[in-house]
Amino acid sequence: MVEGKEEGVISLLTFWNPSLEAQLTVEPMPFDVAEGKDVLLLVYNLPENSYGYSWYKGDSARLSQQILAYLTENQSIALGVAHTGRETIYPNGTLLFQKVTQKDAGIYTLQVLNNDFQRELVSGRFRVCRTRDKPRIAVNSTMVTEHQGSVTFTCHGSYRGTSIQWSFNGQSLWLSERIKLSQDNRTLIINDVRKEDGGSYQCVVSNPAIVCRSDPATLNVSSREQVLGLSAGAIAGIVTGVLVGVAVAAALGYFLFFIRTWVCNQDDLGHQRPPGSTPSQGHSVSSTSPDPLYSNRAAVPIYERDLAWSKPDIPEKVLLEA
């Protein structure tokens, strides 16, 4: 058992090569850049014990093609003959090109000088797409609701001697029964749009000399709940609230109707009560000769009737003599 473990360790040490993992590399970002845009030459696995490094135009480290040099000891930068004013070097060795032109396309070489003054060279390249060759995308709709129809993308541009491909979120687009291309690949059709179809689409026009990408066209796909601006739970809550509100309104209406009916009944009873039965404070006083409830004679003020009742019985002769 012990011998088997030792053999496994020996085999691992034999095939593991740390130098392969720390290999100095350069990667353009992006590889195909549109004219007038920026591009980076990213550097990976830069030696820690480097004395300095410099960039050159072309596939060799000739002084006449030097762009920039960086010294790590004092972090100083020296401009080379080939510097145009649009290049910037960073402490990690990365080189930035701003507003690239057709003349900037090609190969660039990085030279790293270690503390033992040994040189290491690595190259990278990028291509520049001319503005007139850059394709553009037309789309019938960029905001759709899932399962509510289809979306059509059309790639416009120069197609002579070129092929057309499509990318989705920076990756090659996978076709399916729902996602199809026209015969010349210019038109992309997405049927029965789904939530996962939302993202960035680009058409890529290429020939042996150059690859040009369109600006991204972003498709936004919303669910039905998002179209309403509410989640399913919120919608259920609103429906419940409406039902409760209707029930409360109905109860309040019934209560008001009951109160109004009760008041009207009380008023009817008050109009039907006889005049003599009207309650008053203290002892009640009633007339000895009450008038009937309905009479044809004119109404006489009560004080005149009282005077008539209290008039003394004086002989007519006495009245004449007076």
Each residue of 188-241: pLDDT tens digit? 999 999 999 999 999 999 888 788 999 999 999 998 776 555 555 666 677 777
For residue 62, the model assigns a pLDDT of 94
Residue 125 to residue 57: CA distance in whole angstroms? 10
Q: Is the pLDDT of residue 50 over 50?
A: yes
Closest CA relative to residue 134, chosen from 100, 85, 172, 181: 100
**Fold match between 22-129 and 132-224?**
yes
For residue 43, the model assigns a pLDDT of 95
Closest CA relative to residue 111, chosen from 29, 56, 72, 47: 56
Residues 158-171: what's their mean pLDDT? 86
Share of the chain above pLDDT 90, in %: 48
Tell whether pTM > 0.75.
no
Q: Which CATH architecture has domain 22-129?
A: Sandwich (2.60)
Which residues are CB-neighbours of 126 under 8 A, at least 6 positions away? 28, 30, 31, 32, 33, 39, 41, 100, 105, 106
Query: From residue 127, how far is each of 101, 170, 278 by CA, in Å?
Result: 10, 18, 111
Split at pLDDT 50, 70, 90, the class of 6 is very low
Across the chain, what does the average pLDDT equal? 79
SS3 call for 84 = coil
Residues 111-123: what's their mean pLDDT? 89
Domain boundaries, the chain: 22-129, 132-224
SS3 call for 255 = helix
Q: Which one is predicted more confidently, 307 or 132?
A: 132
Residues 56-67: what's their mean pLDDT? 95
For residue 319, the model assigns a pLDDT of 45
Residues 21-27: what's their mean pLDDT? 85
For residue 80, the model assigns a pLDDT of 95
Residue 23 to residue 210: CA distance in whole angstroms? 28
275-304 as b/e: b if 16+ CB within 10 A: eeeeeeeeeeeeeeeeeeeeeeeeeeeeee
Q: Which one is predicted more confidently, 10 or 163?
A: 163
Stretch among 82-91, 108-117, 202-211, 261-270 having the lowest mean pLDDT: 261-270
Q: What is the largest CA-CA distance in the chain?
A: 170
Residue pair 107/123 in contact by the 8 Å Cβ criterion = yes
Which one-letter amino acid corresponds to residue 136? R
Residues 109-121: what's their mean pLDDT? 89
Q: Is the pLDDT of residue 263 over 90?
A: no
Closest CA relative to residue 213, chosen from 155, 152, 160, 161: 155
Residue 82 C-alpha from the chain's centroid: 46
Q: Is the pLDDT of residue 22 over 60?
A: yes
Split at pLDDT 50, 70, 90, the class of 120 is very high
Residue pair 258/265 in contact by the 8 Å Cβ criterion = no
For residue 283, the model assigns a pLDDT of 45
For residue 48, the model assigns a pLDDT of 82
The CA-based angle 100-76-64, given to 5 degrees, is 55
Residue 163 to residue 182: CA distance in whole angstroms? 13
What dotted CATH number matches 132-224?
2.60.40.10
Highest mean pLDDT among 1-5, 193-197, 247-251: 193-197
